[in-house]
Amino acid sequence: MGKKAEIKEEIWEIWKITLNAKRPLKYSFYLHKPETPEELDYIRFSKDFQFIRHSLWRLAVIELSKLFNSAKSGDKFNIFRFINKLEKDGYYRSLKIKQSKIDHWRKLLSDYDDIIKIVLELRNRVYAHTDGPEAINDLDTPTFEQTEKLIDIIENVIQEIYSSVFDSFVNVESPDIDLNPSGIIKTLAEEKKSRIERLQSLLKNKRS
């Protein structure tokens, strides 16, 4: 198998992990910050949706950690290992990725090092293992916006590899990502609002 075929396979694995993080992140984001007060009110009083939004966030963190765990024993498709292979002395050196691009990606990863560390600590100490409440009291949580920046870095690498190596554009979005996570919440919130209005109308008619 040639280097082009190998890097295409590796990029595809990285891409799949990215999508597995992006889908639950998008849905969890909406469940935390819906469009309307009615939706927020519905979620606030629904233990089911509170559980679902936390589970989705947890899944996003676990998938993201696969991409940013730079430890030697870390995940096979982490972005640090992949970028190392692109260097002049790396496994994919024959593909001649511009050093300026590699330096740019390393700078981005360095800029978000604090966020990456938080994601990995959440995964290692809370979501994949349980260290106990005393051990996790000092842990922070990244914002959705910060987490999306990490995904942007991965997508930038994917797009540049396809452009440089295959002379083609790749759409990093998946059809599933375009699904609207608001649909079910809007429907339930509107149904609840309608039910309350009908009840209020009935009570009002009884009093009159």
Q: Tell me which residue of 39, 46, 49, 50 sits closest to 191, measured CA to CA.
A: 39
Q: Tell me which residue of 32, 60, 50, 10 sits closest to 162, measured CA to CA.
A: 10
Q: Report whether 91 contacts 69 (CB < 8 A).
A: no
**Residue 145, number of CB atoms within 10 A of its CB:** 8
* Cα distance between residue 130 and residue 166, in whole Å: 44
* Cα distance between residue 119 and residue 117, in whole Å: 5
For the stretch 69-119, pLDDT in tens is 987 666 789 999 999 999 999 999 999 999 999 999 999 999 999 999 999
**Residue 185, number of CB atoms within 10 A of its CB:** 23
Torsion of CA 149, 155, 159, 164, to 10 degrees: 80
DSSP label at 201? H
The percent of residues in the chain predicted with pLDDT above 70, rounded, is 83
At residue 133, the pLDDT reads: 47
Which pTM does this prediction carry? 0.82
Residues in the chain: 208
Higher pLDDT, 48 or 203: 48
- Among the residue ranges 18-22, 68-72, 146-150, 187-191, the one predicted with the least confidence is 187-191
